Structure 1
Amino acid sequence: MFSKLVIVVVVIVVAATTTAAPQQYRPIPPPYQSSGRFIPILVDEREGPDALGNYRFNFETGNGIRRDEQGAPRGPKGAVVSQGGWSFTFPDGTPAVFSFVADEGGYRVESPLLPTPPPLPPHAIAQIEKARRESGGRPSYQ
Structure 2
Amino acid sequence: MLVLAVVASAAAAPQRYTHAAYGHTPGTFIPILVDERHGPHADGSYAFNFETGNGISRQEQGYPQGPEGAVASSGGWSFTFPDGTPAVFTFEADENGYRPVSNLIPTPHPLPAHAIEQIEFARRNPTPGAHPGAYRPGDYRPGDYRPF
* 2:17 aligned residue: 28
User: TM-score under structure 1 normalisation?
Assistant: 0.76
Aligned residues: 124
Cα deviation, residue 79, structure 1: 1.1
**Structure 1 spans left out of the alignment, 5+ residues:** 1-14
**Structure of higher CA gyration radius:** 1
User: TM-score under structure 2 normalisation?
Assistant: 0.73
RMSD (Å), alpha carbons:
2.6
Letter in 2 for 1:78: G
1:47 & 1:33 partners in 2: Cα distance? 33
CA displacement 1:48-100 (0-9 Å, x = unmatched)? 01111110000000000000000011112221100000000000000000000
* 1:116 aligned residue: 107
* 2:94 aligned residue: 103
**Partner secondary structure for residue 115 of structure 2:** helix
Cα deviation, residue 20, structure 1: 7.1
2:120 & 2:68 partners in 1: Cα distance? 36
**Structure 2 spans left out of the alignment, 5+ residues:** 127-131, 135-148
* 2:141 aligned residue: none
Sequence identity of aligned pairs in percent? 60
Matched, 1:63 2:57: no
2:58 & 2:5 partners in 1: Cα distance? 59
1:92 counterpart (83, 87, 98): 83
